[in-house]
Amino acid sequence: METPTNVNDANLVLILDYGSQYTHLITRRIRKLSVFSLCLSGTTSLESITRLNPRAVILSGGPHSVHTPDAPCFPDGFLGWAEANGVYVLGVCYGLQLLVQKLGGEVRVGEWQEYGRMEIEVVEGGDGEGRLYGGDAVGKEQTVWMSHGDEAARLPEGFRVVARSRQGTVAAIESPGRRLYGLQYHPEVTHSTLGMETLQHFLFNVCGLSPGWKMEDVLEQEINVIKDLVGPNDHVICALSGGVDSTVAATLVHKAIGDRLHCIFVDNGLLRYKERERVMSTFESDLHLPVTCVDASDRFLSKLKGVTDPERKRKIIGGEFIAIFDDFAVELEHKLGKKPAFLVQGTLYPDVIESCPPPGSGRTHSHTIKSHHNVGGLPKDMKLKLIEPLKLLFKDEVRELGSILNVPQAFLKRHPFPGPGLAVRVLGDVTQGNALEITRQADEIFVQAIKDAGIYDSIWQAFAVFLPVLTVGVQGDQRTHSYVVGLRAITSEDGMTADWYKFQSEFLDNVSRKICNNVRGVNRVVLDITSKPPATVEWE
């Protein structure tokens, strides 16, 4: 994934990712303060960083020790460049330790390891001279979230301690003259009770940034980018899935280039219950987007027959989608006299994050979680050039953008649906027995029950999962040997972290009985009560 080049924000805050599970929360928290933030690999080249021209850079936490061989670090010359260009640098947890070590201080294994909620006291602060804490914070305790085994034992020249934990560990440091700051704790997590206030003070009072970033600006910028990219006579294909992301992307591109956008909806045989009919009706009656529907279910399912590895499923689906889009482009060429050169996709920032190393160059220090069919699953030799106007946005930001574009609220509030569809909700071979139909029916019963209970908008995502496990049951006084269906419902802000939704027991009892009574081939229903992390939202 290349470093973004279409970023133009005078108040950009860049986060360099060293592998912390909380890194992308920093991005979200800063955007919540109406300041544009972007997350790149911690080993992104200095050239890529300087090209983005950030006002501030935050060095994230991570699982490493600075003493580990090949421990990740910012590029050579980074601190000199930051100081010469007036760029503010804030190290968080591992990022603080990087600053201390690289500037001549000492980091050692702590006498006490600090994990979880801890109390710290601000010992120095002020309202001027770029102080990390305001004067009203001095002498007061606050609860923060710690996660470290190493600690700063000796600070580099020019630094001072501005907060300590109850055990006396260095909790925050600063060198205002060099615009360098460090927090040993994680201000981005909600467990740090004054974390948002600390970030806000750092951005506005220390760095002097202005809270001016808003979705209207994103819309205007993306429209200009699309107009610059797509020539006045070029035509564009848009892959519509029926989800919020691709629909908002299509509406945005349509606003930029009008009827030169040609949308295609592919029935890959992996859709939800009556999804094709419902989605096509919405496109035609509510969104007024010209859409060609292609039934390719046999094509997809034949390629997936016998495939059980989830990564291979995603790559097969990604490759098959692109092949269909290429075929569609050839058909349009005959019709228009000119072959479309671009493909629009509703790729989101979480898709990019989970599929690839964080955008940037060099090695990565976080694992690939899964290859999303429209990111990691794309073939390297695809003929169409990609337009991904949402790839720097989170889901809630896309919904806000869709609202500005007058996409109906009922559509924007739809729960996310994975691009590979039910292929990642049927564990194992999707063509096994009646697995797809079982999943569709169970999912429809579950989601409809959620809507009937009036809790649909309180849930980020809810769905049924087919488990290729046969269990013994008793139905109609007869022994059965049938499949298990898992139910998953989560709450989340952006899909990067999630918690399971706490249903009332009566609701679960009713849903379980409805599924077992109405879905042939199922005699057992289980509930997934795992958060993210450690699990992902989807099972595959």
| Residues annotated catalytic, as ranges | 93, 186, 188
The answer to whether 241 is a known ligand-binding residue is yes
Within 8 A by CB and 6+ apart from 157, the residues are 103, 104
Place of tokens 């087919």: 466
* Element (DSSP H or E) covering residue 322: helix 310-336
**What is the rounded CA–CA span in Å between residue 65 and residue 98?**
9
The answer to whether 60 is a known ligand-binding residue is no
The answer to whether 86 is a known ligand-binding residue is no
Beta-bridged to residue 378, according to DSSP, are none
The answer to whether 244 is a known ligand-binding residue is yes
**What is the rounded CA–CA span in Å between residue 450 and residue 441?**
14
Pair type for strands 170-175 and 180-183: antiparallel
Q: What is residue 95's three-state secondary structure?
A: helix
φ and ψ of 334, to 5 deg: -65, -35
The answer to whether 41 is a known ligand-binding residue is no
For residue 72, whether the previous peptide bond is cis, meaning omega lies within 30 degrees of 0, is no
**What is the rounded CA–CA span in Å between residue 162 and residue 442?**
56
Determine the length of the chain.
540
Within 8 A by CB and 6+ apart from 152, the residues are 96, 97, 100, 105, 106, 107, 170, 173, 182, 184
Place of tokens 């808003």: 214
Token pair recorded at residue 54: 């950030």
The answer to whether 279 is a known ligand-binding residue is no
The answer to whether 182 is a known ligand-binding residue is no
Token pair recorded at residue 165: 């934990």
Crossing angle of helices 395-404 and 244-257, rounded to 10° = 40
Token pair recorded at residue 400: 């806000």
- Residues annotated within a binding site: 241-247
Annotated binding site for ATP: 241-247
